[in-house]
Structure 1
Amino acid sequence: MFSEPDDPEVVARMRTAHTVASGALGVVPGRPAGSDEGPREAWGWRGRTLGKPVTGPYRLGWLRVVHSPVDRASGKLWTGPEDAERLVPRQVPRPRLHVVRQWTEGKDAYKAELYDHIVGQAVSSAPVLATGPRLTTAWWCDLRTALGCLSAVRTERAAVRQAYLDRAMPKYLAFLGGPVPTVPPAWSTAHGDLHWANLAGPELCVMDWEGWGIAPVGYDAALLHAYSLVEPETAARVRRGFADILDSDAGRFAELVVITELLQSAERGDNLELVPALRRRAEEVWPRAAPGEMGGR
């Protein structure tokens, strides 16, 4: 989740779209009985999405509205949740997607997605941890199982593309002062945006399936580790839980990939608090990820 956009026009437009979607789907604002937990509004990156708890035909739910310019209302991000509902096994715990509706208003396209409401709440209100989460051993085991199950899903969707790696990795890792590998040892299916605001507890639930698809092996574990770097105890817990992945050639390469992506996003002002830790981690990983030791696709 992200903070409310600074632009009041975006805020007003998205809240109006959410009201329109609520009327079309026959839902009204609602929250778990006797509970004040969880957000009343959840904003996506720069106001692209807005979600709120609702009640309606499927009892307690979560209505998420997505915005895009009309000419971009297609492709991976636009169809990700529906594709996940069809293709990802239920062994990967996530909110059930019941209904999708789309409409346009001039140059703006909208999509309404009605989900089951999660049990519990997001581990963090933001992708980067502010404090260490209290998660059970069972939660960590369930996450490991879920990512293993997801990795075996067959799909033509792409979360990361080779062309991006060839272009971005040498640029954003140039500070390392030497050759940087750009071809992963192997590929598998990943969630693609596995950060702490997209994970729920105390019962594991994996949210936000817009960007899932093929990525370098170890990508999800590497991304969650990167988002944990400012909270060392949690970062160490991620490394322990995924040691066989992160300590492999594929895992080290995946870490360099996600560090590249997050350093690039920092240029746009996102997650600036991570930058020093990302650069330090790259310097730790890079000597063990020499180009000559990496395999091909």
Structure 2
Amino acid sequence: MYSEPDPATADRMRKAHVNAARTFRACVVGEGDSWGWRGRTLSRRVTTEDGERWLRLVSASADKAGGKLWEGPTQAELAMPASVPRPRLRASSTWTDAEDAYLAELYDVVTDTTITTDGPVLRSTPRLSGEWWLGLVIALDAVGEVPTTRVALRQEYLERAMPEHLGFTPSQDGVAWVAAHGDLHWANLTAPELHMLDWEGWGLAPAGYDAAMLHTYSLLVPDVAAAVRHHLSDQLDTPSGRFAELAVITQLLQTNSRGDNLDLAEPLRARLAILREAEDAALG
């Protein structure tokens, strides 16, 4: 969960959430607001005639609504197998109000909390059981087998951004592209029971991309980064996995250039040096 946005955005989103609740004949439970990045989403627990649900509201400017992110949760609900633990999507509704468009989604309630609550970067060691890790391995394997034409990470972006932010263009020999969650960080995973949240951006990415993202967001906590490498080694210790890790590092170095995730800058560069050495060794 991110911090509350500026007052104007917060007021607009709260009013829109009331409208969304009215659409589903739902009543908000309590006063807890769960905000997304820069107030783009607002979620609250609600009650309906079918019991408690989680009402998530997404907003975008009217000219940018629709498309991959808008359709992602519904398509994930239809495509993902039962072995992928996630809150089930029960209903959705869209509307446009003046310059803004909204998507309201009604989910099953997940009582487990997200592993981080202030953004995707891990800064302390969570208590995760062996069963949790095994569930994650099984889930990521299942996601990777889902057929799709959706795209989570664009090849054109990597061809442009990798040389700019890495200083070289990694080889794509042996790289496979498979379905991925596309935004698998610690704020989108729950514990002690595993649930994978926020399926907006799922689609094709280099095999190992989800594991690589989770590892990269763990770099400030070396023992957890080591645990990710251990449990997800089958996804990371491959040509695709190494390329996927370089892709994630590219994305986060780009955020550094914009002033975000600055505490990750040094460990990103250190990990990049290790991967660059492995890349050079593989090329002979």
TM-score normalized with structure 1 length: 0.91
1:23-102 superposed matches below 5 A: 23-30=22-29, 40-102=32-94
Distance 1:100 1:291 in 2: 50
The answer on 1:194 being equivalent to 2:194 is no
User: Unpaired runs of 5+ in structure 1?
Assistant: 32-38
Q: What amino acid sits opposite 2:99 in the alignment?
A: K
Shift of 1:291: 10
Give the match for residue 34 of structure 1: none
Distance 2:158 2:105 in 1: 32
1:83-122 superposed matches below 5 A: 83-122=75-114
Shift of 1:95: 0.2
Q: What amino acid sits opposite 1:2 in the alignment?
A: Y
The answer on whether the counterparts of 1:180 and 1:290 sit within 8 Å (CA) in structure 2 is: no
Q: What amino acid sits opposite 1:155 in the alignment?
A: T
The answer on whether the counterparts of 1:181 and 1:290 sit within 8 Å (CA) in structure 2 is: no
Give the match for residue 3 of structure 2: 3
Q: What amino acid sits opposite 2:195 in the alignment?
A: C
The answer on 1:170 being equivalent to 2:163 is yes
Distance 2:48 2:281 in 1: 55
Question: Are the structure 2 counterparts of residues 179 and 102 from structure 1 closer, same or farther at C-alpha, using a change threshold of 3 Å?
Answer: closer
Deviations 1:186-214 (A, max 9, x none): 11110000000100111110000000000
Distance 1:65 1:58 in 2: 19
1:242-253 superposed matches below 5 A: 242-253=232-243
Distance 1:155 1:110 in 2: 25
Give the match for residue 36 of structure 1: none
Shift of 1:136: 0.5
The answer on 1:264 being equivalent to 2:254 is yes
1:219-258 superposed matches below 5 A: 219-258=209-248
Give the match for residue 35 of structure 1: none
Give the match for residue 215 of structure 1: 205
2:43 is paired with a residue of what secondary structure?
strand
The answer on whether the counterparts of 1:100 and 1:113 sit within 8 Å (CA) in structure 2 is: yes
Shift of 1:184: 6.6
Distance 2:258 2:33 in 1: 24
* Aligned residues with identical type, % of pairs: 49
Distance 2:32 2:280 in 1: 47
- Root-mean-square deviation over aligned CA pairs: 1.8
The answer on whether the counterparts of 1:61 and 1:114 sit within 8 Å (CA) in structure 2 is: yes
The answer on whether the counterparts of 1:42 and 1:52 sit within 8 Å (CA) in structure 2 is: yes
2:253 is paired with a residue of what secondary structure?
helix
Distance 1:179 1:67 in 2: 36
Give the match for residue 146 of structure 2: 153
Give the length in aligned residue pairs: 283
1:289 is paired with a residue of what secondary structure?
helix
1:102 is paired with a residue of what secondary structure?
strand
Deviations 1:14-65 (A, max 9, x none): 111111111111111226xxxxxxx921111111111111111331111110
Distance 2:116 2:108 in 1: 19
The answer on whether the counterparts of 2:123 and 2:218 sit within 8 Å (CA) in structure 1 is: no
The answer on whether the counterparts of 1:179 and 1:291 sit within 8 Å (CA) in structure 2 is: no
Q: What amino acid sits opposite 1:4 in the alignment?
A: E
Shift of 1:232: 0.8
Shift of 1:183: 6.8
Question: Are the structure 2 counterparts of residues 292 and 129 from structure 1 closer, same or farther at C-alpha, using a change threshold of 3 Å?
Answer: closer
